[in-house]
Structure 1
Amino acid sequence: MPLLGTAAGREEHGRGEGGDRTLELDRRAEEVVVVELQKLCSGGERFSVLSEEAGLIEFGAPFPRVLLDPVDGSLNAQRGLPVVGTMLCLVAGPTLGEAQVGYVQNLVSGERWHTIRGGGVHRNGQRLRPFPAGSRDRIEVLGLESGPGSLLTAQALIERAAKVRLLGSMALSLAHTAAGGIDVHCSPIAARCLDLAASALMIAEVGGLVTDLGGKPLARLPADLTGRSTILASASPELHQMAQDLLRVGSG
């Protein structure tokens, strides 16, 4: 990723449709993906693309829709921190529950995850296996996506976890949860569906759970720029229940 941590990559181009500043590295990454998707349209496919930068682009039909976050972890990219991902998710309809295909790639290491609904999850071409029931009874690694002001919400999880990791990329943190590197991921700050759609499908495909902090499923979350939610994601139902119980006690 040549623009990582460079002044050229940090050049601003106003604000994207998602409301955040659009940097040169965001614009260039989006351009690469959209050009490839345009080729599919030229070949007869009809669909739309929703990106944080360009907003909604129709290639002949509103659905299916490709949700695109070209640079997930923009602050990491600006600062030269090598944890930066890209996320694509194909949804058949207007909600996250209609996600069909997901893809996440670490733009620095090249590590990649992909899933097709009902077909499991593959990491660098190797299929991930679901965790056996009861195989994990404690939170060894907790993933967080949070600012200082919201850490108190996750305090009960932080105190119970053996280790805490803040990667700075929602898509990658959730992908590592699907792969088992992170037991529970918590985001007390509401995240956009574009940050989590592909990875949420992956976690479901390996038998894990993704809800908001209150335990509400995300299936009805709008697959558009308004769709936001807090996130609690776990590699297994047992870990998810444990995390929910801790959050409930911590807020009581």
Structure 2
Amino acid sequence: AEHGERFSVLSEEAGHRSFGADYPLVLVDPVDGSLNAKQGVPLFGLMVAVLDGPTVADTYAGLVLNLNTGEEWRALRKQGAWRDGKPLQPLQRSDGRRIELLGLESTPRALKRAQPLVDRSNKIRILGSMAISIALTSAGGFDVFCAPIPVRVFDTAASLLLLSEAGGVASDVQGQGLDQLRCNLETRTTLLCASTRELHAEAIEILRAPQ
């Protein structure tokens, strides 16, 4: 702002701050996975997203930084995604619809609500950092990441751009798109992210099947 740039910043800690313009809007979560940090669990990250409008579809730059390892994911809308400076290339798989590794949001209720996916997955991981979990999904580390309890859209903006630019797919658990959701501190949604369209379709089918 000192050099004439005009923008706004939104964070949980400082709320909404305008520096002369509504957009670009910079979303900042300095410690995603704050309970991990508080408890001494070394898995938490920085999330920064830049938007030219109010919704998920308006995110044009995203950064996720693992504050413990220094690993960095970046994405630019319609230009690609990078992991430590190298283009993201999801892992090659022999069975395109098999869920080898499922990531889950960390509340106990999430485990119960995602039980159909848990039952069909080879292994599960609960990291406690949503930004890093979705970033890992964009690289194929997780085949699927699910947050069956509504989470803040604000916390997901950078990672959802990473996922999209890497060729992954995200929706809510009903399969509805996220693009028109507002990136603020109030809007919440369930999440179903997958590294490929085939895995996303498989996960939706599992969740829709009669239990």
- Tell me if structure 1 keeps the 8 A contact 2:91–2:141: no
Structure 1 position 196 matched with structure 2 position 178 = no
Q: Which amino acid aligns with 1:78?
A: K
2:75 to 107, 115, 118: 115
- Tell me if structure 2 keeps the 8 A contact 1:146–1:188: no
Structure 2: which 5+ runs fail to align? none
Larger Rg: 1 or 2? 1
Structure 1: which 5+ runs fail to align? 1-40
Match of 2:114, SS state, is: helix
- Report the counterpart of residue 158 of structure 1 in structure 2: 118
- Tell me if structure 2 keeps the 8 A contact 1:133–1:238: no
- Tell me if structure 1 keeps the 8 A contact 2:106–2:127: no
- Tell me if structure 2 keeps the 8 A contact 1:143–1:164: yes
Q: Taking structure 1 as the reference length, what is the TM-score of the superposition?
A: 0.80
- Tell me if structure 2 keeps the 8 A contact 1:105–1:111: yes
Structure 1 position 229 matched with structure 2 position 189 = yes
- Tell me if structure 2 keeps the 8 A contact 1:113–1:124: yes
Q: Which amino acid aligns with 2:171?
A: T
Distance 2:92 2:99 in 1: 16
Structure 1 position 81 matched with structure 2 position 45 = no
CA offsets, 1:214-252, max 9 Å, x none? Answer: 1111111111111211110000010000000101115x5
Q: Which amino acid aligns with 1:155?
A: Q
Distance 2:33 2:88 in 1: 24
Q: Taking structure 2 as the reference length, what is the TM-score of the superposition?
A: 0.95
Measured after TM superposition, the shift of residue 131 of structure 1 is 6.3
Match of 1:139, SS state, is: coil
Measured after TM superposition, the shift of residue 146 of structure 1 is 3.4
Distance 1:59 1:134 in 2: 50
- Tell me if structure 1 keeps the 8 A contact 2:81–2:162: yes
- Tell me if structure 1 keeps the 8 A contact 2:171–2:193: yes
Distance 2:47 2:179 in 1: 18
- Report the counterpart of residue 6 of structure 2 in structure 1: 46
Measured after TM superposition, the shift of residue 136 of structure 1 is 2.2
Structure 1 position 170 matched with structure 2 position 130 = yes
CA offsets, 1:3-28, max 9 Å, x none? Answer: xxxxxxxxxxxxxxxxxxxxxxxxxx
Match of 1:122, SS state, is: strand
Measured after TM superposition, the shift of residue 190 of structure 1 is 1.2
- Report the counterpart of residue 13 of structure 1 in structure 2: none
Structure 1 position 179 matched with structure 2 position 139 = yes
Structure 1 position 63 matched with structure 2 position 23 = yes
Structure 1 position 241 matched with structure 2 position 205 = no
Q: Which amino acid aligns with 1:190?
A: P
- Tell me if structure 1 keeps the 8 A contact 2:54–2:183: yes
State percent identity of aligned pairs: 48
RMSD of aligned residue pairs (Cα, Å): 1.5
Structure 1 position 72 matched with structure 2 position 32 = yes
Q: Which amino acid aligns with 1:58?
A: S
Measured after TM superposition, the shift of residue 125 of structure 1 is 0.7
Q: Which amino acid aligns with 2:158?
A: A
- Tell me if structure 2 keeps the 8 A contact 1:131–1:206: no
Match of 1:70, SS state, is: strand
Deviates more, 1:218-227 or 1:197-206: 218-227
Q: Which amino acid aligns with 2:138?
A: A
- Report the counterpart of residue 102 of structure 2 in structure 1: 142
Distance 1:188 1:52 in 2: 22
CA offsets, 1:163-189, max 9 Å, x none? Answer: 100000000000000011110000012
2:61 to 78, 84, 101: 101
- Tell me if structure 2 keeps the 8 A contact 1:133–1:236: no
